[in-house]
Amino acid sequence: MYLYLKLKLSVSTPDAIFNEHLYNFRKIQDNQMQAKVTNILLQLNDQSLMGRITHLRLKKIQYNEWLSTSLLHTIPPHIIKKYRNNFLISSIVLLFSLNIKFYNNDSFNNLFPYNISFYDLLLENYYRYSSFFQKHHILFLEQILDDQDYLLSKRDICVKFNLAPHVALKWYNNLINNLNNNTEALRILNQTYGQQFASAPLKFNQFNVDSERIRKEKNHSAKPILINADNRNNPFIGTPAKRTNFNDVTFDLKHYNIISHIGIHMEIQRCEECDDTTSFFSPSRPHRHQQPASYCNVNVFFNNTVVLYTGTTSKGLNSRIIPISK
Ligand SMILES: [Zn+2]
């Protein structure tokens, strides 16, 4: 009321005074801000019960929102929005806006030998899945890597975290997408592990009875394109030979060579023979007036084989062209 009266009064006063009133108004706002800043700094630095309660409140929000780092370190945009009426959060946001930073902040990172949080990888999409992650105590990327730092398949994640096999894991594709396309996510990965990945080295879905069932359900009639990593330095690409028996340990992969890999397309061509050839096959219907050609099979382990692509491939000149990303 006081402000209103003052401003109203100023309408009939000379410019100079009017400006001065505005200046006073700003000063009052500054004072309120200053009081808020002083108040929150006192609370955070308080060694008595009040300070402990303040930090507990922050921890509780951090836990409820399932964040790996302290809110005194970073407040994600969705938290700022969700807690805009929360005095504590809005005060800390104010401190950040004044460039006040905190040292000695606790982080869950200190409790685990892990470095890369799902929040860092999923960013603005994280909050959609945070309750799922919290329920299953998943907070860091490292929790879903295997012994060789390869990303677990969805199936293996279900096994590891005791999830029903039909759980959708909607975040998984999001994660893969971000690891490959989000430069910030890749930067974090490279920085943490001292790597120079241009895209993340990922393991996709294991080639098994389930992946074949899913492929058939999606009416993908073409044979899946597989990658086998028996020899990790030189993975084999190919399609499964006819009548693959999933009860065996190994199977025959019709071997293809990558002839070009440009942008989002990869072009592959049947291998005729290589150092790894274990048997040969001939296409069932050779063109007329043509000698039946003979191509290379490589016998490989199922458990090192993942599905690269299950859609239809376009045909190049004596080759197949695979779109790599959606
Ligand atoms: Zn070959």
* Residue 78 and residue 147 share a domain: no
Residues 317 and 229 placed together within one structural domain of the fold: yes
Question: Taking 60 as the threshold, does the pLDDT of residue 4 lie above it?
Answer: no
Question: Cα 13 to chain center, whole Å?
Answer: 61
CA of 251 to the centre of ligand 1 (A): 14
CA–centroid distance, residue 277 to ligand 1 (Å) = 5
* Residues 27 and 132 occupy one common structural domain: no
Q: Say whether both 49 and 83 belong to one domain.
A: yes
Asked, for residue 243, whether it belongs to a domain, the answer is yes
Q: End of a domain among 63, 97, 131?
A: 97
Amino acid in position 196: Q
d(CA 51, CA 43): 5
**Percent of the chain with pLDDT strictly greater than 70:** 77
Mean pLDDT of 194-211: 72
Q: Do 227 and 319 share a domain, yes or no?
A: yes
CA of 223 to the centre of ligand 1 (A): 18
What is the whole-number distance in angstroms between the Cα of residue 253 and the centre of ligand 1? 9
For the chain, what is the domain count? Answer: 3
User: Is residue 208 very low, low, confident or very high in pLDDT (cuts 50, 70, 90)?
Assistant: confident
CA of 258 to the centre of ligand 1 (A): 11
Same domain, 90 and 119: no
Verify that 179 and 146 share a domain, yes or no.
yes
Q: Are residues 220 and 315 in the same domain?
A: yes
Distance of alpha carbon 70 from alpha carbon 61, whole angstroms: 10
Give pLDDT tens digits for 95-137.
Answer: 888 888 776 545 554 556 677 889 988 988 999 999 999 999 9
Shared domain for 72 and 148, answered yes or no, is: no
143 in any annotated domain: yes
**202 found inside a domain:** no
Distance of alpha carbon 234 from alpha carbon 204, whole angstroms: 17
- What is the spatial distance between Cα 2 and Cα 158, in angstroms, rounded to a whole number? 63
Gap from CA of 209 to ligand 1 centroid (Å): 25
Residue 74 CA to ligand 1 center (angstroms) comes to 51
Give the range of the structural domain holding residue 300, as residue numbers without chain letter: 209-323
Do 61 and 79 meet the contact criterion of CB atoms below 8 Å apart?
Answer: yes
105 domain residue, yes or no: no
Asked if residue 316 and residue 213 are part of one domain, the reply reads yes
Ligand 1 centroid to 264 CA: how many Å? Answer: 24
Same domain, 309 and 226: yes
CA 200 from centre of chain: 10
